[in-house]
Amino acid sequence: MRTLLFLFACLLDTALFAGKPANLPGTPGAPGNYEVKSPDGSLVVHIQAGAQLQWSADQDGQPVILPSAIGLQLQTGETLGANVKITDAKTENVNTDFTPINYKKSTIHDQYAQLTLNCKGDYSIIFRVYNDAVAYRFVTKRNGELIIKNEEANFNFAADDRAFIPIQWDYRRGKIFNSSFENLYREINLSQWPKDSLAFLPLLVDIGANKKVVILESDLDDYPGMYLDLNATRGLIRASDSVRWGLKGVYAPYPLDAALAGINYIPGSRAGYIAKTTGSRNFPWRVIAISRQDKDLLSQDIVQKLAAPPKLSDVSWIKPGQVAWDWWNNWNITHVDFKAGINTETYKYYIDFAAANHLQYIVMDEGWSNDLDLFKVSRNIDLQQIIDYGKQKGIGVILWATWYAINRQMDSVFPHYAAMGVKGFKIDFIDRDDQVAIASTYVIAQKAAAAKLLVDYHGTSKPTGLPRTWPNVIGYEGVKGLENFKWADEDQPRYVVSIPFIRMMAGPMDYTPGAMRNATKATYRPVNNNPMAKGTRCQQLAEYIVFDAPLQMLSDNPTIYMKEQECTDFIASIPTTFDETVPLDGKVGEYLALAHRKGKDWFVGAMTNWDAREITIDCSFLPEGHYVAEVFKDGVNADRDATDYKKETIRIQRGGKLTIRLAPGGGWAAHIRPV
């Protein structure tokens, strides 16, 4: 039925061929239909240019996106994408490789077919078709300024499909478009979309036949982030006799002013448009990624591929690594001769721990300074002494800061603290993704890079390619991380086997794993000062392998890590960037298994939701040879005591198969070395 509906809705006037557009009836300026095929020919995009610009896509003959209108509505009343007059159509086939920086792969293969439609009115639309993704963007070439009243971006589906929907819920000060961007997925049909609710990206839709579609965006420079909602008729669109369920893009209006609300900087009023920008520019890519198997989503690179290339020529000073972090564990170190807290002695202790375990950094979180003035340092902190002590031990110091303070003070703060020896800033409570907020993240990245400072964005929306464009941005939250489970009794194990297939496709994800107090469903309770995590110890270990985070936190306190030295040694052995990524198995929301290579060593992580299960790992990803694996697996009593685990050393070789038993909320982690 899906295919029949799709063919009816997408009926074209002529047969077209891969990468070759047909402009009908063939004269410049006339409306027409165009077709672009992926390099392997399996994914086909159809473009209808006429009274309304529309696109649709099918893969293996199955509808993926039904005809969906796109356009840029200008404040002047003109709409780019309406009454389209094509002046020129150009095709291009690209097949190349590039080297990402601080990523899960050392090489990304970039192959696609591209169609550029140049239109009367000094604008263009570019479509790129990959074997597993489709992207399009508008490009304008006009003088002066453009005011974008709205952007029409639609994603119409053939049926009332099941989806993983990250609904916005925690409005800051009760205002929409202001939130922490931390949310669980509502696993519902599109028809069950909550009334008057918006969803963040990325969002996953199950279109049947084992195919998943993930909606994303990339190269979001000087432009608001996209939310999704059902279309104006709450999903029902009639095109002849076909019925489609449609999602539409929604954007935060341009903020006209803002005021402090605690440490949030919240707009008081917004304009009747979404962006005020230069007339000659590339607009963001609108993207769908498609998988035939869920596991394929674990190695997707589409946001990296579409991001603007690096702005930095020298990246030698940008060092990824692991971080001893203070806030989650509430500075709760013990068995010391000083009062633990936000003071010099405590941070020297964190530095000693980091050095002893070969970590690279510590974070000094909220409390080292005034939240609104970064030059007002706590009287209990001798910052220069801490920085110098860290330098002696080979440990860098990263400082927490509010976005409000950084925006006001970065021109003086960055050079000042860089001169003291600070290595970077963790910038928190952005809590917006309107045009002003997004533009600010680019400016901060640029000015931090000028001072050779790293940036870790928190309280922010998902990444959209900025870590490629400005590689000193090596951390991004935009996820309901471990910190939430200091106070929230929610389904953590199901979430952690969902986000690698969805949120992680957007880019690095500072989830901050590492809890050493592990709980079953029955034993978990929220505790702020000595927090625990749902799921087993081995699930926490596996998260260090599975979750992409060039700047990876050890969230628990040094005292407990030293008591659990066997696990700490394993965590410290795991790199934060890799040379190769191989998805092994998985199903969204249920389980996954993933392998990474760094040099000649391999790291394999597997995790499950609350269902105990047994999975088989095929070791054919290993090169020829013999290997020894250090394995951490759930103990036989992990279903009763989630801290129960067993460490063992096994020998394996290419082509061998490993049977893994995962406890409820369980995990499995291995470091594999050649012998």
Q: Which residues contact 57 (CB under 8 A, 6 or more apart)?
A: 43, 44, 45, 46, 63, 64, 65, 134, 288
The domain locations on the chain are 2-292, 321-616
Give the model's confidence band at 341: pLDDT under 50 very low, under 70 low, under 90 confident, else very high.
very high
- Model confidence over 126-137: pLDDT tens digits? 999 999 999 999
Q: Is the pLDDT of residue 7 over 60?
A: no
Does domain 2-292 fall into CATH 2.70.98.10? yes
- Model confidence over 82-106: pLDDT tens digits? 999 999 999 999 999 999 999 999 9
Q: What is the pLDDT of residue 22?
A: 40
618 is catalytic: no
pLDDT (average), residues 172-200: 93
d(CA 583, CA 604): 10
SS3 366: coil
Q: Is the pLDDT of residue 20 over 50?
A: no
Q: What is the pLDDT of residue 171?
A: 85
Query: Where in 123-161 does DSSP place strands (E)?
Result: 123-129, 133-157
Paired strand residues for 234: none
User: 560-570 as b/e, with b when 16 or more CB fall inside 10 Å?
Assistant: bbeebeebbeb
483 is catalytic: yes
Just give the CATH number of 321-616. 3.20.20.70
Q: How far is CA 176 from CA 149, 172, 196, 270, 366, in A?
A: 18, 8, 11, 11, 26
Number of Cβ within 10 Å of residue 242's Cβ equals 19
DSSP strand pairing (133-157 vs 162-165): unpaired
SS3 623: coil
d(CA 546, CA 523): 25
| Nearest C-alpha neighbor of 162 from the set 192, 132, 182, 134 | 192
| Token pair 């706590």: residue | 378
The residue type found at 30 is A
Select which of 222, 326, 483, 548 is catalytic: 483
DSSP conformation class of 169 = -
- Whether the Cβ atoms of residue 518 and residue 536 lie closer than 8 Å to each other: yes
| Nearest C-alpha neighbor of 586 from the set 612, 615, 619 | 615
Select which of 58, 217, 365, 428 is catalytic: 428
- Model confidence over 591-636: pLDDT tens digits? 999 999 999 999 999 999 999 999 999 999 999 999 999 999 999 9
d(CA 205, CA 194): 16
Give the model's confidence band at 233: pLDDT under 50 very low, under 70 low, under 90 confident, else very high.
low
- Whether the Cβ atoms of residue 547 and residue 511 lie closer than 8 Å to each other: yes
